[in-house]
């Protein structure tokens, strides 16, 4: 039974898991959907009331009947590397590939339906509420008056992007940024603004959840630091235990969201409270493992290698 | 009118880093010039920054 990893060739975080699977003798097929059609070949048969399908790339072949699990890691857009790419070809290729994979009886990390929903930042905040996390007051609005009132009420407020920086040239970064009450809020009408009360923090916390296993890491923050992803604080990530209450909330969250893997970001305040900031369903873990030695890639590999279908295979007869 | 959030965008800068490994289709792993897997050199991976939470491509914002 084979593990299918959907990711780009240059993804060395995936390498960490592939090498663990090699070490246990678990068959792996690594595919970037961008290479389909072309370098990769697909065929799916729906006939005589039955289904089977095959994928091949770089001399490796996978039958859908032998598919154990699927890790959606960093897949490219289907057909992105095709000789004549187009939105239509991407749509057709997505239908062929993901339609075939959904027809098989495999477990997903994470299931695309759950992943799509889990990417919605406002929804994350609601699930965090329901899971018992401390969540900083937040507003997501296109109303300049409400944005101004929110900042007047909470004073220290950050603005952040829900979907990441805009694509294009020149490349832009959108770090979480403190704004003041004197900001010009009229532009809030031109696009939804996500405003959140700033949490003065003494540390960033990254908690990686793999199935039932939790790995928390902590990095001391500089005074007044806002976005720990940008700039070098001179501090490193260190492993820390997961408080029992946080662990319960994490398990509640991933159950509600239907996630097998998630990377949570928290801000630890001066009282030691972990404030929920966001949950990245496809969050990076390589840098945490490399700095802390936590066996995250090994745990991902073990989860993928277990034989347990998320559901019964599709039966047409 | 420019959306409010984009007022706080910054130039990302162009990365001049060249990854010192290449993908080996047979092993399905990235390999170093010395023939060893890239994952065998954690210090190098940390130095090139390709496993960090800002290393995602434009299509992967949830890092």
The full set of domain ranges for chain A reads 2-110, 116-134+200-281, 138-197
| Rounded mean pLDDT, A150-168 | 90
| Rounded mean pLDDT, A292-296 | 98
Lowest mean pLDDT across A67-81, A234-248, A302-316, B2-16: A302-316
Checking if the pLDDT of B55 tops 80, the result is no
Burial bucket for residue A143 (CB in 10 Å: 0-12, 13-18, 19+)? middle
Distance from CA of B42 to the nearest CA of A (A): 6
Residue B29's closest chain A neighbor by CA?
A: A15
pTM of the model: 0.92
Band the pLDDT of B54: cuts 50, 70, 90: low
| Contact assignment for A230 to B54 by CB distance below 8 Å | yes
Could you tell me which residue, A230 or A149, shows the higher pLDDT? A149
Distance from CA of A123 to the nearest CA of B (A): 14
| Rounded mean pLDDT, B10-15 | 73
Residue A172 sits at the chain B interface (C-beta within 8 Å): yes
Tell me how long chain B is.
63
Q: What is the per-residue pLDDT across A83-140, written as a single tens digit (0 to 9) for each?
A: 999 999 999 999 999 999 999 999 999 999 999 999 999 999 999 999 999 999 999 9
| Contact assignment for A171 to B50 by CB distance below 8 Å | no
So what's the pLDDT on residue B17? 66
Residue B18 sits at the chain A interface (C-beta within 8 Å): no
8 A C-beta contact, residue A285 and residue A145 = no
Partners of residue B61 in chain A, C-beta under 8 Å: 119, 163-165
Residue A275 sits at the chain B interface (C-beta within 8 Å): no
| Contact assignment for A290 to B59 by CB distance below 8 Å | no
Q: What is the per-residue pLDDT across A21-42, written as a single tens digit (0 to 9) for each?
A: 999 999 999 999 999 999 999 9
Could you tell me which residue, B50 or A32, shows the higher pLDDT? A32
So what's the pLDDT on residue A309? 55
Q: Which residues pair with B22 in a beta bridge?
A: B31
Provide the residue ranges of all domains of chain B, joining segments of one domain with +: 22-54
| Rounded mean pLDDT, A241-268 | 98
Between the alpha carbon of residue A147 and those of residues A170, A190, A251, A260, the distances in Å are 29, 13, 33, 35
Q: Which residues pair with A63 in a beta bridge?
A: A54
Band the pLDDT of A6: cuts 50, 70, 90: very high
8 A C-beta contact, residue B57 and residue A74 = yes
| Rounded mean pLDDT, A50-54 | 95
Handedness of CA A17, A22, A28, A33 (dihedral sign): positive
Pairing of strands A213-220, A201-210: antiparallel
So what's the pLDDT on residue A173? 86
Checking if the pLDDT of A316 tops 50, the result is no
Residue-averaged pLDDT of chain A: 93
Partners of residue B57 in chain A, C-beta under 8 Å: 8, 74
| Contact assignment for A30 to B42 by CB distance below 8 Å | no
Q: What is the per-residue pLDDT across A162-218, written as a single tens digit (0 to 9) for each?
A: 988 887 767 888 889 999 888 999 999 999 999 999 999 999 999 999 999 999 999
Interface test with chain B among A4, A6, A8, A10, by most B beta carbons within 10 Å:
A10
Band the pLDDT of A315: cuts 50, 70, 90: very low
Question: In angstroms, rounded to a whole number, what is the distance separating the alpha carbons of residues A177 and A183?
Answer: 12
Residue B34 sits at the chain A interface (C-beta within 8 Å): no
Closest in A19, A173, A192 to B29, CB measured = A19
Question: In angstroms, rounded to a whole number, what is the distance separating the alpha carbons of residues A37 and A31?
Answer: 11
| Contact assignment for B63 to A18 by CB distance below 8 Å | no
| Rounded mean pLDDT, A153-165 | 92
Per DSSP (E only), the strands in chain A are 2-7, 28-31, 40-47, 50-57, 60-63, 67-74, 107-109, 138-141, 157-160, 172-173, 177-179, 193-197, 201-210, 213-220, 238-240, 261-269, 274-280
Checking if the pLDDT of B10 tops 60, the result is yes
Could you tell me which residue, A236 or B58, shows the higher pLDDT? A236
Distance from CA of B28 to the nearest CA of A (A): 7
So what's the pLDDT on residue A167? 79
Question: In angstroms, rounded to a whole number, what is the distance separating the alpha carbons of residues A44 and A217?
Answer: 43
| Rounded mean pLDDT, A35-50 | 95
Checking if the pLDDT of A284 tops 90, the result is yes
So what's the pLDDT on residue A229? 74
Residue percentage of chain B with pLDDT more than 90: 51
So what's the pLDDT on residue A314? 46
Distance from CA of A136 to the nearest CA of B (A): 19
Sheet holding A40-47, edge to edge: A40-47, A50-57, A60-63
Residue B9 sits at the chain A interface (C-beta within 8 Å): yes
Q: Does domain A2-110 have CATH number 3.30.160?
A: no
8 A C-beta contact, residue A174 and residue A129 = no
Architecture of domain A116-134+200-281: 2-Layer Sandwich (3.30)
So what's the pLDDT on residue B24? 97
């Amino acid at each position: 039974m084979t593990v299918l990893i959907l990711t780009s060739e240059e993804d060395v975080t995936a390498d960490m898991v592939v090498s663990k699977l090699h070490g246990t003798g678990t068959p792996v097929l690594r595919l970037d959907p961008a290479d389909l059609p072309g370098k990769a070949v697909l065929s799916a048969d729906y006939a005589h009331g039955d289904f089977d399908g095959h994928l091949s790339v770089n001399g490796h072949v996978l039958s859908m009947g032998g598919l154990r699990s699927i890790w959606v890691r960093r897949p490219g857009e289907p057909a992105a590397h095709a000789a004549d790419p187009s939105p239509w070809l991407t749509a057709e290729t997505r239908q062929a590939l993901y339609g075939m994979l959904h027809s098989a009886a495999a477990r997903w990390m994470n299931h695309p339906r759950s992943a799509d929903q889990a990417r919605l930042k406002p929804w994350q905040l609601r699930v965090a509420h329901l899971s018992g996390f401390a969540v900083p007051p937040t507003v997501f609005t296109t109303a300049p008056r409400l944005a101004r009132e929110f900042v007047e009420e909470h004073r220290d407020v950050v603005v952040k992007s829900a979907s990441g920086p805009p694509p294009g040239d020149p490349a832009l970064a959108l770090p979480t940024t403190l704004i003041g009450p004197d900001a010009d809020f009229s532009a809030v009408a031109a696009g939804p603004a996500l405003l959140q009360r700033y949490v003065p923090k003494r540390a960033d916390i990254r908690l990686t959840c793999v199935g039932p296993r939790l790995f928390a890491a902590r990095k001391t923050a500089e005074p007044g630091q806002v976005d720990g992803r940008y700039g070098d604080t001179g501090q490193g990530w260190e492993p820390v235990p997961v408080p029992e209450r946080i662990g319960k909330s994490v398990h509640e969250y991933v159950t509600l969201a239907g996630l097998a893997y998630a990377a949570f970001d928290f801000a630890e305040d001066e009282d030691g409270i972990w404030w929920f900031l966001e949950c990245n369903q496809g969050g990076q873990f390589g840098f945490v493992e490399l700095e802390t030695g936590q066996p995250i890639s090994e745990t991902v590999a073990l989860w993928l290698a277990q034989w347990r279908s998320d559901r019964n295979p599709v039966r047409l007869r | 009118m420019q959306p409010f959030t984009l007022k706080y965008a910054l130039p990302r800068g162009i990365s001049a880093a060249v990854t010192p490994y290449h993908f080996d289709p047979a092993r399905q792993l990235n390999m170093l010039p010395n023939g060893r897997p890239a994952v065998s050199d954690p210090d190098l991976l940390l130095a090139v920054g390709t496993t960090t939470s800002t290393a995602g491509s434009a299509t992967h914002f949830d890092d």
